[in-house]
Amino acid sequence: MAEPGPAVRRKSRPGSVRKRSRAPVQPSPVSSPVAPKRPSSGGEEPPAETPCSNDSEEDMFGDYDSFYGSDSLLAQVDDVEHKYLQDKNMDIKAAGEVILGNLQSGIHQKKADNFSTSENMIVLKADKEDAFQMNENNAVDSNQEPTESVLDDLPSSQLLYFEKMDELSFGSRTSPVSERRNKCVNTSSDKIRSPSSFCPDAEHRSRPIDFSSDSKCDSFKTESLKDHLKSAMTGNAKAQTLQVSKTKQLKEAVLSEEICVARKTIESSYVDIGPFYGLPSKVKDLFRQFRGIETLYEWQHDCLMLESLQHRKNLIYSLPTSGGKTLVAEIIILQELLCRQKDVLMILPYVAIVQEKVRGLSSFGIELGFLVEEYAGSKGRFPPIKRRKKKSLYIATIEKGHALVNSLIETERIDDLGLVVVDELHMLGEGSRGATLEITLAKILYTSKNTQIIGMSATLNNVGDLQKFLQAEYYTNNFRPVELKEYVKIRDTIYAVDSKTENGFTFSRLLNFKYSSNLEKADPDHIIALVTEVIPKYSCLIFCPTKKNCENVASMVCKYLKKEFRAHREKEKQDLIKNLKNIGNGSVCPVLKQTIPFGIAYHHSGLTNDERKSIEEAYSTGVLCLLACTATLAAGVNLPARRVILRAPYVANDFLKKNQYKQMIGRAGRAGIDSAGESILIAQEKDKHLVQVLVNSPLENCYSNLLLELTKGMQSLLLSLVGLKIAVTHEEVDNFMCSTLLGVQQQLLSKEKSLSEIIKDGLENLIEKGLLKGRISEKDHSSKCMLTITPLGKATYKGSIDLAYCNLLYRELKKGLEGLILESNLHLLYLATPYDMTSSCSPDWMIYLRQFNQLSAAEQKVADIVGVPESFITKKASGQAIRKELEEFWVYKALLTELTKRLTYCVKTELIPLMEVAGVLEARAKQLYNAGYKTLAHLANANPETLVKMIEHLSRRQAKQIVSSAQMLLSEKAEALQEEVEELLKVPTDIPGTY
């Protein structure tokens, strides 16, 4: 940071030493005049006092000049002037701070008060951009010692004279500064209102005094100084003082001043932090209150202080799981929302994580004045509402984030997005979702030069390619708050993972658990032995290859546990079973009913959202001590454990990848609870070599999936580029593609054809399908022939529809218009079912036929219309979600909007407003509704303590989350309505007949 230049500072002085006193001749015990008044030549008494409001406009002070009466002070002034003007190299920018005291010294408090008078101080700060910041400072104690600096003894009017002389010396070079300084002074004068504040009673009057002619100064400088003094003091005397409580002003200014300081700091290129990394100190208090975070880890501090972040460069950072990556991202997000006043997009991989993050940040939004908007599942508005006052944090899944960015580009609002944060950046290399993420980031990079991108992951390898793609800096650290010990179990022997040894393993111990012959057959992998070493005192996760295996492991473990395990938090376990029964409308899974009394449950995608959240919550609070889960939990919600067991080195039928392995074992060790975490991979003898390679190999590289996912990747990208008018010629498309991850890796991924040839083939294919119009030159790739999008093409990309099914969907919808059956929802449900779901459906056709026969006549007619007659019952029925972009399908918009809402929550209509609140599930919604909390407004204004008392099995933490989420949602809806009202009342600028 640059060294501050010399400062010319005028500080508050005791009493009226710093002010021109307008009191009677009798000196006040608190203050005294700057210089004694010299009697007039006639020796007469001063004229009668007149109210200050009637002072002469021509000359309020006559020939009075307090400096003439003090030769020593005048000498000091001359010396300082001379020294000041001699320094020709002094730059006004390096002058530090020029603090001008308020000359309106006639402000007196009532006679009964003995408090010191506060001064309004205007701080003019010349920084790198010659910007000036105005702050109000508290009164300085009347006993404060005078400063040694001579300049500190000078009134502000004389300092103004110095600046004038300096302007004459330096010429045009400093005139902009002087102009700005004058503006600030004028602004401060405008803030002073009431003339009565200078003379609140009859004792405080102006006393003009005449001086004899021999008291005139011969020096030009002194004459000039006197003129400037009189001019400045006259202006100050005419000014008015704002009659507002100083305490109230200060209270209201605290947060806004800190944000203003932080904003200056953030915009500066210097590493000069504010109260809390450029944020108001209130943010630190909120992290302590909501998260229990007192201090940051050293790596988090280092990362936040990176020069690349100070200069708003893109950044990729990588640390092991549980290292605290998300907290850094959240602080950067708050800097963008509060200091730079820009919207932020946070992209997360799964719906469950989005919902968890929305719940976690809603309370920050309520306290700090920004909106948290959820873009997951059926939630989200495209384009988002343009807020005039508050800024928005959009928390989205990969697919919703892509749609959001498209809508911002289309409405030319992409520059409103100041920051994009991507969690699990390694997902760039994972199938169609990776292709969608790459497309999203490439569009942001290409269309907005002001949007900063932050990517984080625990499992990155070929970082160089990602840096080149994102034009980003890189930060990494091996920090983990809790030590992780990795083990591999083969038969009854446990080996410690040690990369320094030849085979990567070292012997650790033998299992010490007595197995009967029956138990040995039921549990050949000794899972019960590994589990009982930690539960119920500590928590444990078992990752299983398949969903069925999760259920089998949970059942097997509880069969052989001792009865003592049932006594651990027995009542809470029964409450959990009762809650699950309510969620299931009276029924609960037999496996869960058997395992939960022992503190055990399974966790996989077969559970409903409500069931999964209930089980996660019970595990987090320690009611459940063991979860048998699939690999999706590893990258899902934050559920750490003392010990993590990998049931087998497989995910379904595929051998485990290194990044999957790292994600799973990263769940071991709970910060602040455990001193260490353990991971145990169970392997068979036949897989020993593969496991050795797995635990000692580097992470997999991250490659573009645009080519592998052709219809969801490359062709989808080309279609949206033309539709959004990002690139409308072959040459422009080529230029865009070079900025993608595929463009960075084209030598590795497209060996048979060049990237330009792949683009040409893709554009021609889109033209053949009727999604684009135009012509692609066979020879000249730099042809300026414009490409345009067709209505069907526009509907396809805006609806995020897989190009492989767009024509089929169009035909289905066209057929539906000929005879849409609305006696039930079956027809709409068919049209709204995604085509790609059919690949995962393997129905029992006998059951299918039995269900078909139970349909009503109208519903069977629907089956005939969609091509599923009884004679051809084995035909797969499928469909796809739709957006109303084709006018001919206008009827579907209203029908499918309502159907979507009903399918999202699957509850009675009256519960839907409560279900919209993050953290409220069906069973909880019923409880709240029955307790009288029937609307969003009821919840938003509820007292968390009252909720805890009225709602059974509701913790205080849950109650606070529900209330803050409801407040955020209510605020968001109110803001949206207010924006709509203001837009409606806005006077159009193009009214006919107006100029």
Give the DSSP per-residue string, 193-209: BBGGGG-SSTT--B---
CB atoms within 10 A of CB 60: 16
For 907, phi then psi, to 5°, come to -135, 175
**Helix residue ranges, H only, 584-671:** 590-595, 609-620, 658-665
Among 517, 587, 525, 589, residue whose Cα is nearest residue 556: 525
Tokens coding 708: 């592998």
Residue pair 352/301 in contact (Cβ under 8 Å)? The answer is no
- Burial 106-125, CB ≥16 within 10 A → b, else e: bbbeeeeeeebbbbbbbbbb
CB atoms within 10 A of CB 252: 12
Q: At CA 551, angle to CA 547 and CA 553, rounded to 5?
A: 110
Residue pair 785/774 in contact (Cβ under 8 Å)? The answer is yes
Q: Report d(CA 343, CA 336) in Å as an integer.
A: 7
Q: Determine the residue type at 933.
A: Y
Q: Report d(CA 376, CA 898) in Å as an integer.
A: 17
Residue pair 283/334 in contact (Cβ under 8 Å)? The answer is yes
For residue 626, what are the β-bridge partners? Answer: 540, 600
Q: What is the pLDDT of residue 262?
A: 64
Parallel, antiparallel, or unpaired: how do β-strands 343-347 and 483-490 relate? unpaired
Q: Report d(CA 312, CA 526) in Å as an integer.
A: 52
Q: Determine the residue type at 883.
A: R
List, run by run, the mean pLDDT of 10-residue segments along the chain (995 residues).
40 39 40 39 42 42 44 55 53 40 38 38 37 39 41 48 52 42 41 37 39 42 56 59 52 65 53 69 92 91 93 94 90 93 94 87 92 89 87 95 95 95 93 93 95 93 94 92 92 90 88 83 90 91 92 92 88 91 82 94 85 89 92 76 93 87 88 83 92 89 88 89 93 93 87 86 91 76 78 88 83 76 75 70 66 76 71 42 51 61 71 83 85 91 90 82 88 82 80 71
3-state helix, strand, coil in the chain (%, to 5): 50, 10, 40
CB atoms within 10 A of CB 53: 11
Cis, peptide link before residue 536, omega less than 30° from 0? yes
Q: What is the pLDDT of residue 55?
A: 42
Tokens coding 453: 């991108």
Q: Report d(CA 178, CA 93) in Å as an integer.
A: 11
| Sign of the CA dihedral with 492 first, then 497, 501, and 503 last | positive
Strand runs labelled E in 641-761: 643-646, 650-651, 654-655, 676-683
- Burial 533-554, CB ≥16 within 10 A → b, else e: bbbbebbbbbbbbbbebbbbbb
DSSP string of 453-514? EEEEES----HHHHHHHHTEEEEE----SSEEEEEEEETTEEEEE-TTSSSSEEEEEE----
Strand runs labelled E in 673-729: 676-683
Q: Report d(CA 711, CA 803) in Å as an integer.
A: 5
**Helix residue ranges, H only, 751-823:** 755-768, 791-798, 806-818
Q: What is the pLDDT of residue 632?
A: 75
For 67, phi then psi, to 5°, come to -75, -25
Cβ-based burial of 412 (10 A; exposed 0-12, middle 13-18, buried ≥19): exposed
Tokens coding 668: 């071991």
Residue pair 126/132 in contact (Cβ under 8 Å)? The answer is yes
Q: What is the pLDDT of residue 181?
A: 40
What is the Cα 22 distance to its own chain's centre? 55
Q: Report d(CA 303, CA 307) in Å as an integer.
A: 9
Strand runs labelled E in 258-383: 314-318, 343-347, 371-375
Distance between the two ends of the chain, CA-based, in angstroms? 52
Which residues, including other chains, have CB under 8 Å from residue 465's CB and lie 6 or more apart?
Answer: 701, 702, 741, 744, 745
| Sign of the CA dihedral with 695 first, then 701, 702, and 704 last | negative
Tokens coding 471: 């034009």
Element (H, E) at 602: strand 600-603
Q: Report d(CA 895, CA 884) in Å as an integer.
A: 11
Parallel, antiparallel, or unpaired: how do β-strands 654-655 and 472-476 relate? unpaired
Q: Report d(CA 963, CA 362) in Å as an integer.
A: 10
Tokens coding 257: 């001043």
What is the Cα 98 distance to its own chain's centre? 37
| Sign of the CA dihedral with 980 first, then 981, 984, and 988 last | negative
Q: Report d(CA 374, CA 324) in Å as an integer.
A: 23
Q: What is the pLDDT of residue 82?
A: 60
DSSP-based three-state secondary structure for 672: coil
Among 936, 918, 915, 830, residue whose Cα is nearest residue 877: 830
What is the Cα 878 distance to its own chain's centre? 38
Among 510, 606, 491, residue whose Cα is nearest residue 554: 606
DSSP-based three-state secondary structure for 379: coil
Residue pair 470/453 in contact (Cβ under 8 Å)? The answer is yes
Distances (CA, A) of 85 to 127, 156, 221, 448: 22, 18, 12, 48
